[in-house]
Structure 1
Amino acid sequence: MQTQPFEAAIFDLDGVIVDTAKFHYKAWKRLAGELGFAFSESENEQLKGVSRMESLDLLLRAGGITEVTTERREVLASRKNEWYKEYLATLTPADVLPGVYDFLGQLHSRGIKTAIASASKNAPLILEKVNIRPLFDVVVDGNTIVRAKPDPEVFLQAARLLDVAPAACFVFEDAAAGVEGAIRAGMRVAGIGDARLLARAHLTVTSFEQLNPVSLLSYIGVTGFTGWGDCANEQ
């Protein structure tokens, strides 16, 4: 079976490149506490990969709060974001997740283009704090898109800016909404995290450390590799 060559890798940011997911949860949990209800890590999974306002709506529903004015929603979302940015101030390059630098290096050495595709409006701040922006050819974030994941807009915009066909892109995501958005964009997708939560992904790993040089070279057609199921048929 022949498929489109692998020409570009598109990455979510929070929880994929940098360990910021914990800060989102900490800020949402703090907001829930102020509103008078508990917010669990399992409930927080539903917020991953979606926009700030959609996340707020999910949080409010989890707390049984349904009557909130537009103005109040804006205030609550802004409060959460200010707390989140306070937590981000503690970020350093050490917060880049294990295996990321090596994996990006392998991609660049083989001419694979790279992009960030994130729903976060704080992506520029995060990339600055961890000093990783130069490793990506393109950054598309919540400041430049209209529709949040699972809409495919962010991935399609990244592909356009990279001048690569969607079918030639491989997306790396830690959220079910992001996996769905990548599939809708016509891209292959690797889930980074719990396979049970990312069941729609074409393959799942728990860390970029699992994507070693042998498997990467095999995937882009240098040698035979059958460890990734249907996605390995790139010869």
Structure 2
Amino acid sequence: MAARSHSLLGWSPEAVVFDCDGTLMDSERHWQDARNRAFRDFGLLPPPGFAERAKGVHYIDCGRLMAEETNKPELADDLTAALLDHFRSLVAEDPVTMPGAAEFVRLLSGRLPLAVASNCPEEVVEESLGRAGLRRHFLHVVVPTGAQETARAGDDPAGSTEGRQVVRPKPWPDVYATAAQLCGVRPESALAVEDSMAGVESARRAGLRVLGVGPVPSGEDADRTDLWVTALHAEEVLTWARDRLPDPVPRGGGHG
């Protein structure tokens, strides 16, 4: 385990907001496979190091990046469509949770509000969590709004266009800020659980504290989180949840 400090383990959040891909669901490998298949569809080769640069990037931005880095800007829309089609097929065939993710979610469920903040399309998140049996534990799923609205919002710090509030993708703070609001808590009272640096930046910019999970990043990236663990079944994290969070309160109904 690597950590900037252990202060997180002495703190009790009022809500927890999870990333989906690579945090709850073992789908980063699906994105990688989908990118490779999309490149092959158009007779292109992935640029060196592209997988790392694409991690955590919204799929529309990823399709654009794929086109730019292969000097085929005219293929941006086609690559984006192929990428999403391949990814959805792969997820449907093999919906697998990350190590410890299901156990951690079930441990937190009923103790405090839980939400998901993802760069994926909403139907993909809903289907993935549903297949994994986890959807019922989350009160809210927050994803970016339509690509055209997001693009028109541009650098507007308010994240609005033509008087309408939009939700921009990570690394913008919108998905995490919106999730905390829907959970009824201030951002500084919520914890984000993330595996990518784009997601960490999003959560930090929104004001949440951050638990990083997965392979420890190189350099100073891990220091941008409050704590970094290699998996959500790390004993330190499970003990913290049992000891620091309220006792679970059963709630009726829920999502399927």
TM range (shorter): 0.7 to 0.9
Distance 1:107 1:40 in 2: 40
Q: Structure 1 residue 216 and structure 2 residue 241: aligned? A: yes
The structural deviation recorded for 1:52 is 1.4
Mean CA deviation greater in 15-24 or 196-205 = 196-205
1:31 deviation in Å? 1.6
TM-score calculated relative to the size of structure 2: 0.75
**Cα displacement (A) at 1:149:** 0.5
Corresponding residue number in structure 2 for 1:177:
198
Deviation at 1:8, TM superposition (A): 0.8
Aligned residue identity for 1:84: F
Query: What residue number does 1:115 align with?
Result: 115
> 2:102 aligns to what?
101
Q: Which amino acid is 2:131 matched to?
A: K
CA distance in 1, matches of 2:92, 2:179: 27
Question: In the alignment, residue 234 of structure 2 is paired with which amino acid?
Answer: Q
2:77: which partner in 1?
74
2:179 aligned with 1:158, yes or no? yes
SS at match of 1:183: helix
Question: Equivalent residue of 2:93, what SS?
Answer: coil
Distance in 2 (CA, whole Å) between partners of 1:148 and 1:108 is 26
Matched-pair contact (CA < 8 Å) for 1:4–1:167: no
**Counterpart residue type for residue 86 of structure 2:** W
Question: In structure 1, how many angstroms separate the alpha carbons of the residues matched to 2:40 and 2:172?
Answer: 30
Superposed displacement of residue 36, structure 1: 3.6
Q: State the shift of 1:53 in Å.
A: 1.6
Is the 8 Å Cα contact of residues 11 and 17 (structure 1) preserved in structure 2?
yes
2:29 aligned residue (19, 22, 47): 22
Structure 1: stretches of 5+ with no match in the other structure:
222-235
Letter in 1 for 2:19: D
Cα distance, 1:40 vs structure 2: 6.7
How many angstroms apart in 1 are the aligned matches of 2:19 and 2:48?
Answer: 20
In structure 1, distance between residues paired with 2:112 and 2:48: 35
Map 1:27-46; keep pairs closer than 5 Å: 27-39=34-46, 42-46=49-53
Question: Given the two structures, how large is their TM-score scaled by the length of structure 1?
Answer: 0.81
The alpha-carbon deviation at position 150 of structure 1 amounts to 0.6
CA distance in 1, matches of 2:83, 2:60: 11
**How many angstroms apart in 2 are the aligned matches of 1:21 and 1:67?**
24
2:225 to 197, 201, 211: 201
Counterparts in 2 of 1:126 and 1:143: CA distance versus 1, 3 Å: farther
Where in structure 2 are there 5+ consecutive unaligned residues?
1-6, 147-165, 247-256
Looking at structure 1, the residues matched to 132 and 64 of structure 2 have their Cα atoms a distance apart, in angstroms, of 30
Distance in 2, matches of 1:73 and 1:214, equals: 46
Distance of 1:193 and 1:5 partners within structure 2: 22
When residues 42 and 86 of structure 1 are mapped into structure 2, their CA distance, relative to the original with a 3 A threshold, is: same
Distance 1:208 1:41 in 2: 30
Deviations 1:112-148 (A, max 9, x none): 2110000100212212222211011111123575311
- Relative contact order higher in (CA < 8 Å, ≥ 6 apart): 2
Asked if the contact 2:177–2:187 (Cα under 8 Å) also holds between the matched residues in 1, the reply is: yes
Shift of 1:37: 3.7
The answer for the alignment partner of 2:4 in structure 1 is: none
SS in 2 for 1:18: coil
